[in-house]
Structure 1
C-alpha cells in the first residue's frame, strides 16, 4: 500500500512539473540550397542557456518553462533570425524557418557548437539525404588525416587506391581510363600525355571545400565512366573577413641520409624555370650543361589565404576568397634494384643491381573565388585556379645491360625535368523562378601546358681506365624535348521542374532536363637528339659527373660525336622537324531525369545520349603522316533507387550503362621511351561498353557515425589493356584484349565514436574495407584480326590491371579541447593497405607483372594553441616498406623493381588574423 502511495505521489509530481513546460519544434531549411534541410544549425532561447542544434534532417525540439521568449536561429556564415514565441504549459509550438546568407552580420550572431559544411558530420548528413550513391571527404577530415592533396584525400575513402609514385587513382580496381575528374561539375583536362585524368596530387587541399566520389553513374555525368567520377568542390567562402598565413618545413629521411644530394645544374627552386631547344642543334653544340649540383634537402612551404563577405543592398551579398601557396619537397629512393625486358626463362636484358633516385618537386597554387548572391533567387560564382608544378629527378641504374655491359659494369643515368601549368576558369549560375523552376548553368575554359624541356639519358660502360660512353645504338645517349598543350571548353545547362506538392509543403516529384558540351584539343611536339660517338673516339674516357668535358662545342667541331634526330643528320631536309600528334574530342550530350518519392521509396530514372567524335593525326618516326577518326552515338540509361528503411537506414540500388574511350596518346602512332620499357600507340583501338550494378545498405547511428555495406558488379565489353606486343624491343601498346570482362566486389565502411567525455576528450575511429574479384578474356586472335599487332598471351584469362583483391583504410583519432574550446589537440594514426595487383598482363611466356602488397602508416598531430595560432606535426610512411614489382615466371618470380621511399616529417605553423 505504501509503495502505491509513493508511486502515485511521484507520478502526480512529475505530471505537475511537466505541465509547467511547453515545447517548441520545427525544421530549418537553407535558402541558398533550394530550401533543402539545414543540419547542425543553432537554435537557442535568447538570454537563456537553453539551446540545441538541428539534426541531419534540419529538425529541432526545445522544451522550456511557460513564458514569452525570443527564439534565435543561426548558422555559421548565414543570417541570424529572431522571433518572439509564447510557450504554454503542455502545448507544442511549431516554427519553421529558412536561413540564407544574404543579410549575414557577424555581430548579430551567437555561435555555439556551429558546424561548417566542410565537416564530416555535415557531409554524412548530405550522404544520408541524397538519392545518389556518393561518398565525400571534407576539409575537416582531410586535415585530421594529414592529407595535403586531392589524390591522398580520395584514397581515404572506400575502394580507392593510388598508383605508387603518381597522382593516378584506382576506383574499385579500375584504373585511369575508367575514371573521370571534374571541378565543380565541369571537366578538366589532363596534364599527362599518358593519362586521361589530371594528376590529383597537384590540387592542394588549401583550395578544396570537399571532394565527392560518384561510384554509381547518373545521367548528369559524362558517359565515359566505369570506376568513378571525382568532383573537386572548390572553396566558397562565407563569413567574416580573415587573413591566414601558413609556414612549414619538411624532410625525407632517405634524402637526409645521402652524403650528397645532387641534381642536374640549371633548374631553379621556383619550379618555373624551363629550357628551350637550342637553335641549329644539328650543326653546332648549344645544349645546356650536364654538370651536377649539390642541394640541401630541407623543404619548406609558405601560404597565405584571405576571405571576406560584403552586403550589397537589401538582399545581395558578395563573398570573396583567395589563396596562394608555394611548397617544395626533396625525396630519395634507396635500397633499389630493377630489371627490364625479361624473357619467359626469367633472363633480363637489363639487370640493374642498384637503382637510386633523387628528386625535387614544387607546387605553386593560386586560387580566386567570387560568389555574388544577387538575391534569394539568383546567384553567380566565378572561380579561377592557376597551378604550376615541377618535378626534377636524377635516376641512376648500375649493372648488366645486354651487348653494352655484359659484365655487369653498366651505368645508365637519366636527368628528368617536367613542368606543368594548369589554368582553370569557371563561371557558374543558379536562378529560381518561383517555387517550381530552378535553372543551373556553367561554362569553363581550361588550358594545360606540359613541358619536358631537355630529358637527358646517357649510357656508360666502366672499364679499367674508367667510364666510356655506349656506342651500340644511337638512342643510348640522347636529349629529349617535349611540349604538350591542351585547351578545353565545357558548358552545362539544366532546368529543374518540381511537381506534386504534399500537405507538408514538400514536392514529391522533379524533372531535370540538361545539356553538356565538351570540346578538347591537344597538340604534342617532341624531338629527340641522339648523340653517337664517332669512330676513333669510342674508347674516350669520360667523367659521368662532368660530361661537359666531352659534350662541348670543341669536341663536336673536332668530330668526336655526331647529333641526329630520327629523321637523320643535318644533311637531311627537315631533320629537326619534331614528331607530332594532335587530337580533337567533341561531345554533345543531352539528358533527362525523372525523380519521384513514393513515401519511403525515391526513384530516379535517367536517360542520356551523347554524340562523340575523336580525331587523331600524327607525324612520327613510325611512319608517314597518318590520321584516324572514332565516332560513336551512345545511349545511356540509368536507374537509381533509394528506400528509407527508417529514419536512420537506407537501402540503395543503381543500374546503368556507360562507355570507356581510348585516349589520344593510345591511338596516335607515337613512341615514348622509358628506361625499362617503350610505349607505342594503336590506331585500331576502340571504345568499351560497360554495364554497372550497385546495391548498398547504410546505417547512421549518430550524426557522425555510419555503417554501410555495398555489393557491386561491372560487365565490360571489349576491355582495353596495356600489354607487351610481339616486337624486337618488347614494346608496350594498348589493345582491346578480349570480348568481355567483369568485376564483382563488396565494400564495408564504419565510422564510430569509441568514447567521449564531458571534459572535451573524444576517441573516434574509421575503417573501410573492399574486396574485389576481376576476370577478363585474353584473345590473341581477336587482336591479330582487329589490329596490326601480334600478341602471344601467356594465359587465356586475367584479372584487370591495377586491381587489388583487398583494400583497407583504417584510422583512429584522439581529440581534446579546453580553454573554452580555443585550444585543442587532434592526433590521428592512419593506415592504408592494398594487396597484390597486376601492373601489366603477361605475354610471350612471361607471367603477369605484379605490384606487391604494401601497407603504410602515417601519424598526424594538429594543435590549436589559441583562436589564432595553430601547429601541426606530421610523420608519413612510418613503416617504410619496400616497394616491389615482380614478374611471375615458371622458373620462379623475378623481382623487377624494388626500392624504399623513406619516412617524411613535416612541421607547419599557421596564424589567422
Structure 2
C-alpha cells in the first residue's frame, strides 16, 4: 500500500510542477490572452473569440483567459460578449510555433435595453461552473458537481459527498467535516432546512438521496451572516437537478453485486408483501387489540393476556434461506424535463424524476466484542461480551422529484421544488458467543425492519427590482419519519463451561419493541441586496434578511418481553426454536405470554423555534474584497418528558432551553492576480444540544450492547472559527488551493458512558474546551503538460489535529482527539477522457486516518487501569469506474469498488506499565470483510 501511496504522491507533485508549462502544438501558431471589463479590470468569463470569415473560435475560461490554435496567416479577430460592444482587431499575424499575446478590454454597450436585467440562476452542474463558483464566492467553499458524480459512478449522496475536501463518512451515511462529527454540521436542501432522520442524534442520512437527483453539493466552511450559526464543520447545501435548457427524457437501469453477498447463503427474517417498495404492509404492525399503555390491566386480566399473546402480534418467527436476495442488485431511474414558452418573456420549466433500487448486503463472521479495562495481572483482554455475528440486509428505496420553475420575465422568477424518498431495510443478525460477566454461552438473533421517509418541499422566488436591488425569498416544509415496527430480539443461553448442554431460551431477554419518530420542519426567509451608488473607489453592496424555523418532533416507543409459565408438562418448550415456541397452542397464561414493559419515560415530545436576522456589507476595494456582518439568533427549545414510568400516568414536564446570541463574521479575499487569490475568514458559531440528547428517555442499542440515555443538563457549545486559504487557477478547469483552519470550542458536546452491571450506559456531556487545527489541499489538473493527453488528476487531502480538554475535577476522562475526528484524509482520482471514442475512465483512491468511534475512560481515576478509546482503523479504498457513449442516445457505465477489500477494523489499544516496562496491547472490538462491489448500467437519453 505504501507503493500505491508513493505513486499517487509522485503523480500529484509532477502535475503541480506542470501547472505553468505549455505544450507547443506543432505546425500551428497560438493566439492567447485575457478579456477584461475596461471600466473595472474584472475578467469576463464566457466572452467569444472568433476569426472573421472562418468557422474557428473559442471562449474565455474561469480567469477570462483564452487560447486559440490556428494555421499561419493574417487574421481579423472578433471579440464579443453580451451587453458589451463587439470589437474587431485587424491584421493579426500568426507564425508557426509562435505565440501572439492579445489581451482585450471590452466596454459596456451604451445602448439601453429598456432596463432589462438578464437574470439566470447560475448553473453549477459542471466542473467548470463549480470551479468558477468557488473562485467567485465571497466565502471559503468546496463542492462537487453532477459532472464529477458521473465520473465517479457514486450511487447516492453519501458516496458523492466524500469526494469533497475534508469530508469523510461514518456508518455509510453520516458526514464528518474537517474531523467534526455530524452534530457540528448543518444540512439544507434547495435552500430549506431538513429534519434529522435519526432518533438519537442530529444527523441527516445522505444515503437517502440518490445521485441521479443531484445537481451539485456545496459545503460552506466559513461562517457568514446569511447562513445559520448552528454549524462549525460545514454548512452543506444539497441542490437537486433543475430544468435543463434543452429538455428531454433519460432512463437508466443498472445491476450490481458484492462478492460477499451475491450467489452465497442469504438468510432473511419474515417479510412483508410491500418490502420490495420500502414500506411495511402492516405485517409488523401492533394490533389494535393490544391496549394502549395499559400494562397493569394487561398483567391482571387473563383473558386479555391470552388474546393479546395469540393475536396482538405477528407470530411468524421462522428465518429462512432466501435466494432472491442473492441475485444481483437492481437500480432504475428516469428523468424528464422540458421548458415551455408561454409568451416571449414568460416560460415554465418542468423537471420530473423517479428512482428505484433494490439491494442486499451480507456480512459473514463479524467479530464483535465489548471490552472493559485490560486485565494487567493475567495480561489478557477483559471481555464483557465476545460474539461472532452474521448479518443480512435487504434494502429497497423509492424516490420521486418534481421541480417547477416559472419565469414571469427577465426580472422575476418562482421555483417550486419537491423531493420525496422512501427506504426500507430488513435486517437479520445471528449472533453467537460468550457473555463472560453472566457466565453464559449465548445464541441471539435480532429481526429489525426500519423504514425511513423524507420529504422536502420549497417555494422560492427571485426578484430584480432594478440594476441595484434584488430580493429573494423562500418558504419550506420538510418531514422525516423513521419507523421500526416489531424489532425482535431472541436470546438462548447455556453455561459457558457446559458445551454439551442444550441452549435454553431466556424469555425475559426475548423482546419486541415498536418505535416511531416523526419530525416536521417549517422554515421561511427573506433576503435583500442593494448596490450603493455614488462611490468612487468602492461599490458597496448591503445585505439584510430574516429567517424563521419551527421544528417539532414526536418520539414514541412500546416495549414487550415474554414470561414462561413453566410446568412439568411444558418444560421442554424452552429448548425449542422460536418458530415452534411461539405457536398459538403455546401462547397464553398456561405457557408463554406477553408482558408490556412500556415506560412513559422512554418517550418524549420536543419542539424548537428559531428566529434570526442579519445585516452584512460587501466592500470591493480594488483587488481587496471585504464581506462582514452580524447575525442575531433567538432560539427556544422545549423538551416534554413523562414524569412516571407507569404507562397509565400521563403527567409530563416541559423543560425549556433558551438562548439569544449575536454571531459576527468577516470574510476577506485579495486578488493577487487574475489567477491567484488569498482568503481570510473569521466567524463565531454555536452547537446546540439536540432533542434526544436533552431527553432522559433511554433505549437499548443491540449493536453496542448498551443503553443510551440523554442528559438534560447539557449546555450550548460555542465555537470560534478562523480560515486562511491560498487559491490558484492556472487555466480553465484547473485549480489548486491550500487552506489552514483553526477552531476553538467552549463546552463541546461529547458522547460518554458509565459502567453498570454487565456493561455500559452511554450518555452525553459537555467537555471544558477543545481545539481543532488543520490544513487542506485541493487540486484539479489536466496532465497534457507532462505528455499525458486526455488525462486529468483530482486530489484533495487534509491533516487535522484536535484535542479535548476536560474539567480538572473529572478524573474519569482523558485528553484525546475529538470523537469522530480523523488525523488525515486523502481523496484522489486519475481520469482519462477520450472525446473521439466518447470514453471516460476513472481510478479513485480514498483513505482516512484512525478515528475515535467510542470514547474510553479511566477506571476510578487510575491512568494504569482504563477502558481504551475505540478507534476505527484506516482502510484503503480503490475504485475503478468507466462510462462510454455507444451512440447519440445510449451510454454504458460501470464500476468496480473497494478492489483491495481491506477489513473494517475497530480496535482498542491498552497501554499500561508493568515490571517489563511500558506495554501495548491491541484488542479487536469489531472486524469484518465488506467485500468488493461491481456494477454495470445503461442509460438512454432522448
Q: Into which bin does the TM-score normalised by the smaller protein fall?
A: 0.7 to 0.9
CA distance in 1, matches of 2:771, 2:105: 56
Aligned to 1:591: 614
How do 1:485-496 residues align onto structure 2 when only pairs under 5 Å count? 485-496=518-529
Q: 1:95 to 1:619 in 2, by over 3 A?
A: same
The counterpart of 2:798, out of the listed 766, 770, 773, is 770
Q: 1:71 to 1:176 in 2, by over 3 A?
A: closer
The counterpart of 2:752, out of the listed 704, 710, 723, is 723
SS of the residue aligned with 1:224? Answer: coil
> 1:805 offset after TM fit, Å?
0.8
The counterpart of 2:852, out of the listed 816, 838, 855, is 838
Q: 1:67 to 1:160 in 2, by over 3 A?
A: closer
> 1:380 offset after TM fit, Å?
0.8
SS of the residue aligned with 2:711? Answer: coil
How do 1:87-486 residues align onto structure 2 when only pairs under 5 Å count? 88-89=90-91, 94=106, 117-163=124-170, 165-256=171-262, 258-266=264-272, 268-274=275-281, 275-281=284-290, 283=305, 284=308, 285-286=310-311, 287-288=313-314, 289-293=316-320, 294-296=322-324, 297=326, 298-340=328-370, 342-345=372-375, 346-352=381-387, 354-402=388-436, 406=440, 408=441, 410-461=442-493, 464=500, 466-471=502-507, 474=508, 476-486=509-519
Aligned to 2:827: 809
> 1:808 offset after TM fit, Å?
0.9
Q: Are residues 1:755 and 2:774 paired?
A: no
Aligned to 2:679: 652
SS of the residue aligned with 2:876? Answer: strand
Count of aligned pairs between the two proteins:
837
Give 5+ residue unaligned stretches, structure 1: 1-17, 30-35, 75-80, 105-114, 568-574, 783-791
CA distance in 2, matches of 1:38, 1:122: 14
Which stretch has the larger CA shift, 840-849 or 460-469?
460-469
Which stretch has the larger CA shift, 845-854 or 797-806?
845-854
SS of the residue aligned with 1:618? Answer: strand
| Aligned partners of 2:668 and 2:679 also within 8 Å | yes
CA distance in 2, matches of 1:757, 1:749: 20
Aligned to 2:662: 635
The counterpart of 1:523, out of the listed 554, 566, 572, is 554
SS of the residue aligned with 2:278? Answer: coil
Aligned to 1:828: 842
Aligned to 1:617: 640
> 1:335 offset after TM fit, Å?
3.4
SS of the residue aligned with 1:368? Answer: strand
| Aligned partners of 1:28 and 1:58 also within 8 Å | no
Q: 1:391 to 1:44 in 2, by over 3 A?
A: farther
Alignment TM-score, normalising by the size of structure 2: 0.83
Q: 1:562 to 1:902 in 2, by over 3 A?
A: same
Q: 1:169 to 1:779 in 2, by over 3 A?
A: same
Aligned to 1:572: none
Alignment TM-score, normalising by the size of structure 1: 0.86
CA distance in 2, matches of 1:99, 1:870: 43
> 1:620 offset after TM fit, Å?
7.5
CA distance in 2, matches of 1:313, 1:510: 33
CA distance in 2, matches of 1:62, 1:701: 16
> 1:43 offset after TM fit, Å?
5.3
SS of the residue aligned with 2:164? Answer: coil
> 1:895 offset after TM fit, Å?
1.1
| Aligned partners of 2:778 and 2:797 also within 8 Å | yes
| Aligned partners of 1:637 and 1:657 also within 8 Å | yes
CA distance in 1, matches of 2:851, 2:643: 34
> 1:342 offset after TM fit, Å?
2.6
Aligned to 1:789: none
| Aligned partners of 1:579 and 1:621 also within 8 Å | no
CA distance in 2, matches of 1:303, 1:589: 39
Which stretch has the larger CA shift, 843-852 or 210-219?
843-852
| Aligned partners of 1:68 and 1:84 also within 8 Å | no
CA distance in 2, matches of 1:808, 1:457: 40
CA distance in 2, matches of 1:45, 1:95: 20
CA distance in 1, matches of 2:807, 2:58: 64
SS of the residue aligned with 2:264? Answer: coil
Q: 1:501 to 1:203 in 2, by over 3 A?
A: farther
Q: 1:55 to 1:257 in 2, by over 3 A?
A: same
CA distance in 2, matches of 1:349, 1:510: 63
> 1:532 offset after TM fit, Å?
3.0
CA distance in 1, matches of 2:677, 2:728: 7
